[in-house]
Chains A and B, each alone.
Chain A
Amino acid sequence: MRFLLDDEQREFARSLDGMLSAADTPGAVRAWAAGDTAPGRSLWTRLADAGVFALAVPERHDGLGPLPLELAVAFTELGRHAVPGPLVETVAAAALLDRLDGVGVDGAAAAWLPQIGSGKALVSLCVPAAGGPYALDADAADAVLVVEGDTVRLAATTGPVQPSADPARRLARPLGGSVLARGPAVTAAAAYAAETAALATAAHSLGLGRALLDRTVAYVRQRTQFGAAIGSFQAVKHRLADTLVALEFAQPLLHSAALALAEGADHSAAEVAAAKVTAGEAAYAAARTALQLHGAVGYTEELDLALWIRKARPLRDAWGTPAACRARVLGS
């Protein structure tokens, strides 16, 4: 297997990073949390123009994919910038529709996949068995798909938003709707979609963790106490060194899981689970470290750091809790 990204993949990451750095992404996160989705949707369109969503859409529906490794590269950058919205759910919905195309929901696939790829449609997805009872950002989504048992339906409406610990994550229960398809193909497609969601969430976590580390390193270099930059104190250094160790060893697991998913390998579920738990734990630990080393200023909502810190724990637990992932690694 190829262990390193090629030049094109690295350039893709750099260009997304550059674009999201130039955009007012923190402003879009804050607006999203307040219920104003316009800046977030504008960002979404730009991501679609850069090809992000097309990576999850097959060529027959005007996409480029499915390309799990490139998706992992892209989602690492989305996480680095804490981009709001049902990003993971949209690409997972694309994975679901892709697998159901030809075995029951051709109409839905033809209707939604090109729109997902072009960025016109935000789609949320709820698979209670894999990710809990809520659909993320259902109130902002253009469609909400629900898989229960061997049945997939298009939700008619959603319940009231249940506030999340991360205000930029808006959770709601999907309600009612018509059955699109039923049967073993749905179960298999949902499993594939859940793996895609777990992989994208792992990448999102890894990017989030790297951003938390970068921001904290920058902070401890300039913050002084006792007449010295706190970054010169060994206790501070060692905590940041451990943060880097954890993130660095999550990276190859993510890379390998993406390749396993791309190949349709039997062991992809275990590989994705290993990447998910490792990246999720590393990012959450990075958030704890970021908060600790920023001190009280890190505990304030004003500092943009809060946007990253609040996302770390929900991402760690979304689309596969650590316990579920560990059980899957051992095949139990």
Chain B
Amino acid sequence: MDLDFSTAEEAFRAEARAWLTAHVPETPLPSLETERGFAAHRTWERTLFADRWSVVSWPEEYGGRGASILRWLIFEEEYYAAGAPGRVSQNGINLLAPTLFEHGTDEQRARVLPSMASGEVIWAQAWSEPESGSDLASLRSTAERTDGGWLLNGQKTWSSRAAFADRAFGLFRSDPDTAKPHQGLTYLMFPLDADGVTVRPIGRLDGKPAFAELFLDDVFVPDHDVIGAPGQGWRVAMSTAGNERGLTLRSPGRFTSAAARLTALWRETADPSDTALRDRVADAVIGARAYRLSAYAGASRLAAGGTIGAESSLNKVFWSELDIALHETALDLLGPYGELADAAGDAPAHGAWAEGHTFSLAGPIYAGTNEIQRDIIAERLLGLPKGRR
């Protein structure tokens, strides 16, 4: 499929491709969900940052290129097509940074963003609690006023990257007496090595210590690490959640490159008479193409002054299901080799299907479950009445 880009956009693509060709490690880095891999990925973030490829859409003053969302999509396509390493900084870049751009102070942006862009400080998200997942407003961890700041207490869990990360951001209940659960919340940043923080890694379904539980016991946070006004955390967080579900969490490059790998696998290995499998390969290719075209249409709408609101829920449902279908089809093509872990000596050369499959299974769960997304679609886009969950 050809899309017509301007000469300047094509030049940007060529520049990105040339840089990636010259810099992407020939040997894949160890999984970023291991201590060794985390360190290797942090080094990769520095390499990206040195030539201003780590945060292309940010303003130049913070290490970016001020790239439009269209160019960001182009960069992402090239990034995945080049087989470049996964981004260990993604929680910070995709979730915290947009929040700081929208709700932070100049001082916070100047202090937090450059070290995030360079990989010097890696951020973990601390949203969920044991009794508070999709119903985020029900969270119980507290922030209590003290001299010059706040004292955090409680427990956060399923915190991605927290086992090895440097700092975290999350929501805390600062006023327990409000009428509604989403009022009286405050959005704060805190160091993971602060006094009173205990980090307990949790093995994920893929066996990697990629989650952690955080136990907070009178952890002091100074006032300048509160984002937005105290008590307004829900509003601040919701703009972040929209980003997470919208374009920035899953750019189409990820799926178009996976669909290309899947097609190659099918051409090499498939029994031509198995049309059922062929149809599923075609559907994966079509789905990736649809998502890519939809992303560019969305970028065009944004460029024309539009916004992405509840539409991001359509994206979330679509890409999460597409991701699973892509990986399941690959495993079926691999037959007896499908169950092998990527680290197995006999694992197929195309690789990354086993780990990718396990990770894809989490898609409908995180960033707001797909059940929540479907409620949002039904209520906000179709105008159906709110009801019992």
User: Which single member of B282, B294, B384, B386 contacts A326 (CB below 8 Å)?
Assistant: B282
Please give the distance in Å from B287's CB to the nearest CB on chain A.
Answer: 8
- Given the known inter-chain contacts A238-B371, A241-B377, A330-B281, please indicate yes or no for A232 contacting B293, CB distance below 8 A: no
- Residues from chain A with a CB closer than 8 A to the CB of B296 are 3, 252
B283 interface contact, C-beta 8 A: yes
Please give the distance in Å from A331's CB to the nearest CB on chain B.
Answer: 10
Please give the distance in Å from B289's CB to the nearest CB on chain A.
Answer: 6
A208 interface contact, C-beta 8 A: no
Please give the distance in Å from B332's CB to the nearest CB on chain A.
Answer: 16
Complex Cα gap A231–B384 (Å): 6
Is B279 a contact of A326 with CB atoms below 8 Å?
yes
Is B297 a contact of A3 with CB atoms below 8 Å?
yes
User: Which single member of A228, A244, A327, A329 contacts B286 (CB below 8 Å)?
Assistant: A329
Is B293 a contact of A255 with CB atoms below 8 Å?
yes
A277 interface contact, C-beta 8 A: yes
Complex Cα gap A221–B278 (Å): 40
Complex Cα gap A274–B289 (Å): 9
Interface residues on B, range: 35 or more
Secondary structure type dominating chain A contacts: helix
A76 interface contact, C-beta 8 A: no
Please give the distance in Å from B93's CB to the nearest CB on chain A.
Answer: 25
B31 interface contact, C-beta 8 A: no
- Given the known inter-chain contacts A4-B304, A237-B378, A274-B289, please indicate yes or no for A217 contacting B278, CB distance below 8 A: no
Is A233 a contact of B279 with CB atoms below 8 Å?
no
Q: Closest residue of chain B to A330, judged by CB?
A: B282
Complex Cα gap A229–B382 (Å): 14
B146 interface contact, C-beta 8 A: no
Is A332 a contact of B278 with CB atoms below 8 Å?
yes
Please report the total number of A residues contacting B with Cβ < 8 Å: 45
Chain B 297-311 against A: per-residue CB contact (8 Å), 1 yes, 0 no? 101110010000000
B375 interface contact, C-beta 8 A: yes
Please give the distance in Å from A50's CB to the nearest CB on chain B.
Answer: 26
Q: Closest residue of chain A to B386, judged by CB?
A: A232
Is A217 a contact of B314 with CB atoms below 8 Å?
no
Complex Cα gap A148–B271 (Å): 32
Q: Closest residue of chain B to A214, judged by CB?
A: B382
Is A274 a contact of B379 with CB atoms below 8 Å?
no
Q: Closest residue of chain A to B295, judged by CB?
A: A252
Complex Cα gap A4–B303 (Å): 11
- Residues from chain B with a CB closer than 8 A to the CB of A329 are 282, 285-286
Is B379 a contact of A237 with CB atoms below 8 Å?
yes
Can you list 22 A-B contacts (CB < 8 A)? A1-B3, A231-B385, A232-B384, A234-B375, A237-B375, A237-B382, A241-B374, A244-B314, A245-B318, A248-B314, A251-B294, A253-B289, A274-B286, A274-B289, A278-B286, A322-B279, A323-B279, A326-B278, A326-B282, A330-B263, A330-B266, A330-B278
- Supply 7 further A-B pairs (C-beta < 8 A) apart from A4-B304, A240-B378: A3-B293, A4-B297, A234-B371, A237-B375, A256-B289, A271-B1, A323-B279
